[in-house]
Amino acid sequence: MSERITIFDTTLRDGEQSPGISLDVTEKLEIAEQLSRLGVDVIEAGFPIASQGDFESVEAIARLFGTPGASGSPIVCGLSRTGFADVDRAWEAVQHAARRRIHVFIATSPIHMEKKLRMTPDQVKIEAATAVARARSYCDDVEFSPEDASRSDFDFMCDVLRLAVDNGATTLNIPDTVGFAVPEEWGRRIASIRERVSGDYVLSMHCHNDLGLAVANSLSGVAAGARQIECTINGIGERAGNAALEELVMALRTRADALGQFEVGIRTEELARTSRLVSRLTGYPVQYNKAVVGRNAFAHEAGIHQHGVLTDKSTYEIMDAEAVGQTTEIVLGKHSGRHAFRDALDKLGFRLQGDALNAAFMRFKELADRKVELNEADLEAIVVEELGQAVGTGYAMVSLEVHGGNLSTPSARVVLERDGTKVTAFGEGDGMIDAVCSAIKQATGIDARLTDFKVSSVTGNTDALGDVVIKAEHDGLKVSGRGLSTDVVEASARAFLAAVNRILRIRERPSGPVVADRTGP
């Protein structure tokens, strides 16, 4: 039978300690709700004694999951130093949760004891024992961490861990606080702790990424007997961050043959959504090539790769993109091959064959050498140039009027024109951009759904041009659109209208081959 790995998420505590991140209560609650949907077992909600704001956030999250008998809700954990005031404050914050935990820590490495704590080893032992006992007097779930464990004297650290267990600790968490460990060494240390420290407890790890080894060290610890992993969404945290939750979970799931059969309660289809939420609220962008949740994690540009993926995704994807909330994307660029080019044309309603396909492909390659990434508009231009046809203009924007603010529902009025006929439509939405999109849907009859939205500045200063690129979907058809304006709302409207026009052109093309093989039957 599979053993269960407890996923302890510290995004709201260690993750928030990343330089420049400061979340308010509302933002923390939004992330906590998503972490619960994701299926994490423990949410370390904060460090209650650090500030009044931190206390209120932990207390609010505890109340959020405070329904009596709510066995399916996550454990809410508060961090505490060994001082009784810390422990008491942590309890005051987490006591409202249906399932609660106090996490007590003290440093055990020589440099931390001497330079930071200014305590003797015997004083550290007393502090650890009394603090754990105090925490256990409040609740049955107590975690203890010997900070900077990877640089601690092993025998001394084990003595402290024994005292923690003797005084009621139910989880022993071993932190690689400064990311000093390497996998083989870390695995031996975890295994040795289990051998040296007897008792009924869960062995846990908290690995930092200073050498880029946090995930590797965590997996090594699991192989050595640890059954709880502390981690964060997107790997955020102090300095270089923590072990990334999404990478750990998918490694355990994808390589069970090598790592062992373990049960993890994470709903993986929520991973990408959780990543985007944390990125948006913290202001920390996710690197494009980030494993599992990065925008390029399932994107393919090289022709050989594209051919393989179009034939069978498993040729170049070891995970199912949909299983983590992502989609496979074929990116057209100078490295793309004929198969990807033809597949993209097929999706646009063009069925080129023989010489016509060869000529269009050569034109595509010429353009790709001058442009990093080509979109649907570029492909249309290439094909109609080859066919000697014109691209339908679709709807043009005549005027746009929007109203926003926090005192009324945002609304928009658009006037569009197509083939000499003007259409006026009104829309409302959560914001001005949403209202504009709603109005365009009303005017065109195309109920396209926005699936991606990116805005960037083309120039500097307050009068900068806003460049909006969107992706939209309608009846299984996926298209993109782009708009430029000094007004971001107008740029968004133009981008959405460009996408809608593309959908209309594809729908209105006659079915069947658009151009025959010029070489004959």
Domains in the chain: boundaries: 3-282, 299-387, 396-508
Question: Can you give the pLDDT at residue 151?
Answer: 97
- Nearest residue to 57 (alpha-carbon basis) of 89, 23, 106, 17: 23
Burial class (CB in 10 A: 0-12, 13-18, 19+), 119: middle
Same fold, 3-282 and 396-508: no
Pairing label, strands 142-147, 449-457: unpaired
Superfamily of domain 396-508: Alpha-isopropylmalate synthase LeuA, regulatory domain (3.30.160.270)
Question: Can you give the pLDDT at residue 303?
Answer: 83
Question: Can you give the pLDDT at residue 515?
Answer: 46
Rounded-to-integer distance, Cα 289 and Cα 293, Å = 9
Rg (CA), the chain: 28
Rounded-to-integer distance, Cα 406 and Cα 380, Å = 42
Rounded-to-integer distance, Cα 220 and Cα 226, Å = 9
Question: Can you give the pLDDT at residue 454?
Answer: 86
Say what the alpha-carbon torsion angle 159, 160, 166, 170 is, to the nearest 10 degrees.
-120
Question: Can you give the pLDDT at residue 156?
Answer: 98
Residue with tokens 């996550």: 74
pLDDT in tens, the chain (521 residues): 579 999 999 999 999 999 999 999 999 999 999 999 999 999 999 999 999 999 999 999 999 999 765 557 999 999 999 999 999 999 999 999 999 999 999 999 999 999 999 999 999 999 999 999 999 999 999 999 999 999 999 999 999 999 999 999 999 999 999 999 999 999 999 999 999 999 999 999 999 999 999 999 999 999 999 999 999 999 999 999 999 999 999 999 999 999 999 999 999 999 999 999 999 999 999 999 999 999 999 988 888 898 888 888 899 999 999 999 998 887 888 888 888 888 888 877 777 778 778 888 887 888 788 777 777 777 776 776 665 555 556 899 999 999 988 888 999 999 999 989 999 999 999 999 999 999 999 999 999 999 888 887 765 565 567 788 898 999 888 888 888 888 899 989 999 998 999 888 887 765 444 443 433 33
Question: Can you give the pLDDT at residue 12?
Answer: 98
Structure tokens at 17: 């300690």
Rounded-to-integer distance, Cα 150 and Cα 95, Å = 32
Superfamily of domain 3-282: Aldolase class I (3.20.20.70)
Angle in degrees, 0-180, between the axes of helices 271-282 and 25-38, rounded to the nearest 10: 170
Contact present, 96 and 57 (Cβ < 8 Å): no
Contact present, 135 and 168 (Cβ < 8 Å): yes
Query: Would the pTM count as exceeding 0.85?
Result: no
